[in-house]
Amino acid sequence: MRTFRDAVVLYAAPFLCAGLLFGAQPTVQDAKKFLDDADKKLFDLSLESSQASWVQSTYITDDSEALAAKASERAIAESVRLAKGAVRFDHVKLPPDMARKMMLLKNGLVLAAPANPAESAEVTRLAASLEGTYGKGKYCPEGGKPCMDIEAVTRVLANSQNPAELLDAWRGWHTISPPMRKDFQRFVELSNKGARELGFKDTGAMWRSKYDMPADDFAKEVDRLWLQVRPLYLSLHAYVRNKLREKYGPDVVPANGPIPAHLLGNIWAQDWSNVYKMVAPADTDPGYDLTQILKSRDTKPLDMVHYGESFFTSLGFAPLPPTFWQRSMFTKPRDRDVVCHASAWDVDSLEDLRVKLCLDITEEDFITIHHELGHNFYQRAYNKQPFLFRDSANDGFHEAIGDTIALSVTPEYLVKIGLLDKAPDASKDIGLLLARALEKVSFLPFGLMIDQWRWKVFSGEVTPEQYNKAWWDLRLKYQGVVPPMDRPESYFDPGAKYHVAANVPYTRYFLSFIMQFQFHRALAAAAGCPAGSATPLHRCSIYNNKDAGKKLNAMLEMGESRPWQDAMYEITGQRQVDATAILDYFAPLQKWLDEQNKGKPVGW
């Protein structure tokens, strides 16, 4: 999901408001005028920046990168006046909504450019160039074979069971990122300089400041949540390792060590869904193959999008605007380079909603479009808020809402929309849960370690000479995966992940993968599936339930107008992120996994 705050660059130049210069005491009325002006000016800047970023992502050229960088630079002059001007009101007792807007002006940044104009221009150029390099990335095998873009590499890793072919595709994709290393190192230097000029220790501390709690407290909260879910991940890891060992042999997969990253069905080993058929016992078949169902019905990409839209209209939401269908990118164009990474856009912060995807007719992309539309409907729900509040309660909320909807893509939902004749019986539940765990539980440590690495890079704990070693050390620590070949420092494997190249914070995804189950549990109860009911949590879909839709919309409409704890309470009745919901959801699977792992090593 792409927002203006993800794209905007703040120029932290020396600044003195007239009131500070001459000692005039600002008033509440002064603050109101300042914020009203800020809302209008940021709205205008958002539109320009979003339009330039859209072109950059869907028409990757040197020119589109330069134009996107220039749009960021044009946002700088007003952004500096607003961010530095907000400091003027630090000691004015403001109403809560105005105080929150001031806080968001100062803390709502992803990238802060330094005061020096040349460095400001340089960091915006580097940001656009790094994302563009990723988007243009291709693996060109030797011997005259056709080059492979990320879609082609993804298909190999998803479908092949030939270790040599998997290794070649994995290695090939990771050749796109070494050219980024030098630019990334400079980008870190400039990003940190800008963050320090704003009063933060570094860019990582600036990112952690966004969560309505002290930055250090947020880091501890993330650790607490990981410790809650780690036992479930360890059980899944041990089970999958044993099955892959049976498939590929002890020379490839150890009995009690980490798993080679290229064998898990995904470029980054962040989602293990594609190895389901390889690791699932015969008696745990979920009872259907949605990919085959979609293909047998000659489903088109636009059909998949219409299925997703219909889910939301069944909850009581209005249909998407006509411009959504006219301006979105649903499939990969044949005539140009694009960033295929799926994202949802709110270009004008009102009704110009779009998605950018390269849809394939697969179960994974069927779920992805439900997720991305979750962003779009969230964006429209809060568009009546003042501009400064037009965002999710925190960045994890935006991701969690999309995935909360995807959790309702159950067999019962597929029956209701005519893709299944009948739902498989309860004997198939372990298969359904295993398939979902390979998508959701497998992601948790990856979602955590990306920013653990970047926080250490930004703080200087990890130096440029250690980039690759530290990356794989953390992947071993959290994921229990290792590279399938030696990865010296001449490589830059972090850059082979979009969010690193594009400077998108990642802890939001870790949070979202926990919160989505918390949200789902609350909405399921509203839809008539409370805890202990005849319909287990993993079989409950909120499709076509207006009560759940009203509860969801009440939270979405809040945007960022209040602390995220208030938004959490609105939908769940709780004020803290709570991992017990994901543990409840997968409890039958956890018991089953532990039975399968009995007498075998767990951990690495």
Residues serving a catalytic function are 341-342, 371-372, 375, 399, 499, 509
DSSP state of 266: S
CB 531 within 8 A of CB 521: yes
3-state secondary structure of 604: coil
* 226 Cβ contact partners less than 8 Å away, ≥ 6 residues apart: 444, 445, 448, 478, 510
Structure tokens at 509: 């995804």
Cα separations in angstroms, 524 against 163, 426, 434, 588: 42, 18, 20, 18
For 9-45, b where at least 16 C-beta lie within 10 A, e where not — what string? bbbbbebebeeeeeeeebeeebbeebbeebbebbbeb
- Residue at 93: amino acid letter: K
DSSP state of 344: E
Identify the H or E element spanning 397.
Answer: helix 395-407
CB 556 within 8 A of CB 567: no
3-state secondary structure of 10: strand
CB 385 within 8 A of CB 365: no
Residue 287: left (phi > 0), alpha (psi -120 to 50), or beta?
left
- In sequence order, the β-bridge partners of residue 343 are 356
Dihedral, 509, 510, 513, 519 alpha carbons, nearest 10: -90
Report the Cα–Cα distance between both ends of the chain, in Å, rounded.
34
- Residue at 158: amino acid letter: A
Dihedral, 120, 121, 124, 126 alpha carbons, nearest 10: -110
- What span, in angstroms and rounded, lies between the C-alpha atoms of 83 and 97? 17
3-state secondary structure of 112: strand
CB 441 within 8 A of CB 586: yes
Strand 343-346 and strand 353-356: pairing? antiparallel
